[in-house]
Amino acid sequence: KDKVTIHTMKRQKQGGQKICMVTAYDATFARILDEAGADMLLVGDSLGMVIQGHDSTLPVTMDQMVYHTAMVARGTKRALVVADLPFMSYQVSTQEAVRNAGRLVAEGNAGAVKLEGGAEFADVVSAIVRASIPVMGHLGLTPQSVHKMGGYVVQGRDEDAALKMIDDALALERAGCFALVLEGVPLDLGRQITQRLSIPTIGIGAGKHCDGQVLVCYDLLGMNPDFKPKFVKRFANLHGSISQAAETYFSEVRAGNFPDEEHSFKSKQPLRLMATQ
Ligand code: KIV
Ligand code: NA
């Protein structure tokens, strides 16, 4: 299996082959998802919510992103590893943005980085691309702008907002993005942007017309029974499997049935009782 690169992405769009992306935050999940056939693994700053337990992605730091990216890269053989630039790592200055993107590649072993925002970040995108670091854009419901958006709400529902998003998408393509995440946008806007761009769109809550799809792995696996937004489909119920396994383990321990002989070690010869002084 050849390693996936940014060039694979473009061929997949041209050939009409859907691109499969999923988040991963550690080596064990990366190995499973890579072997299952992911084209891209996203080390998302969603880890602030699903790993760290925050209620937004805003507290995630560069050091934490580098740490998780390195773990995911170690577990990945085929997929392209894309790492999120976290809040405040690329907004202050273009210099800081390039340096931080460089850390995700040099220290974290990412093959590309992702950042949120439209035309206002075109300069930042081109500066990172100039440093030979592939950049993925991210438009629509951009969680780092939760306070500006006034919550996690679908974007681009009215004509003006839709037109602005199309302009932003074209600006990101011109700036050199190799792909674009569309999050929380109406189905028909997802289709329009996908048709207008030559780079692939990767949707999450953006409908079936996108060139690919991405989901947070813990969401598609059904790890959190209290989180069920409209765009998430649960392909498994790991919350149920994990709690059932843990309950069985605890009840066997309490009943004295675990560990049994099969899971215990034997001495080489019978131990003689030793007298203690
Ligand atoms: O952080 C993340 O998981 C993301 C995806 C939802 C696109 O940015
Ligand atoms: Na993200």
Q: What is the pLDDT of residue 271?
A: 85
Is 264 known to sit in a ligand binding site?
no
Tokens coding 94: 């273009």
Percentage of the chain with pLDDT > 90? 95
Q: How far is CA 113 from CA 180, 257, 267, in A?
A: 11, 49, 53
User: Which is more confidently placed, 110 or 270?
Assistant: 110
- pLDDT of 277 above 70: no
**What does 247-271 look like in DSSP terms, one character per residue?**
HHHHHHHHHT-SS-GGGS---SSPP
Give the lowest-confidence range in 9-13, 164-168, 196-200.
9-13
Ligand 1 centre from 93 Cα, in Å?
23
**pLDDT beyond 80 at 10:** yes
Per-domain boundaries in the chain: 6-220
Q: What per-residue confidence (pLDDT) applies to 270? A: 86
Dihedral angle over CA of 7, 27, 35, 132, nearest 10: 10
Band (79; pLDDT cuts 50, 70, 90)? very high
CATH 3.40.630.30 applies to domain 6-220: no
| Per-residue pLDDT at 221 exceeds 80 | yes
Task: Write the pLDDT tens digit of every residue in 222-276.
Answer: 999 999 899 999 999 999 999 999 999 999 999 999 999 999 999 988 888 776 6
Q: Mark whether 183 is an active-site residue.
A: yes
Whether 240 and 223 have beta carbons less than 8 Å apart is answered as no
d(Cα 223, Cα 236) in Å, to the nearest integer?
A: 9
What's the mean pLDDT in 213-230?
96
Ligand 1: which atom is nearest the Cα of residue 202? 7
Bridging pattern class, strands 19-23 and 135-140: unpaired
pLDDT for 276 equals 65
- Please, are residues 109 and 81 in contact by the beta-carbon 8 Å criterion? yes
Token pair 């996908």 is at which residue? 194
The answer to whether the annotation marks 56 as part of a ligand binding site is no
Burial (Cβ within 10 Å: 0-12, 13-18, ≥19) of residue 5: middle
- Among all ligands shown, which has an atom nearest to the Cα of 202? 1
1: pLDDT confidence band, cut at 50, 70 and 90? confident
pLDDT given at position 273: 77
Distance, in Å, from the CA atom of 147 to the CA atom of 140, rounded to the nearest integer, reads: 14
Average pLDDT, integer, range 92-120: 98
Residue of minimum CA distance from atom 3 in ligand 1: 44
CA separation for the pair 117, 138 (Å, rounded): 6
Q: Which atom of ligand 1 is nearest to the CA of 181?
A: 7
Work out the mean pLDDT of the chain and round it to a whole number.
Answer: 97
pLDDT of 80 higher than 70: yes
CB-neighbour burial class of residue 182 (10 A; exposed 0-12, middle 13-18, buried 19+): buried
State the complex-level ipTM.
0.99
What distance in Å separates the CA atoms of residue 170 and residue 33, rounded to the nearest whole number?
31
Active-site residue (options: 120, 183, 247, 252): 183
- The reported pLDDT for the residue numbered 156 is 98
According to DSSP H, which parts of the chain are helical?
6-14, 27-35, 47-50, 62-74, 94-106, 122-130, 146-149, 159-175, 187-196, 217-220, 238-255
pLDDT digits (tens, 9 = 90+) for 146-190: 999 999 999 999 999 999 999 999 999 999 999 999 999 999 999
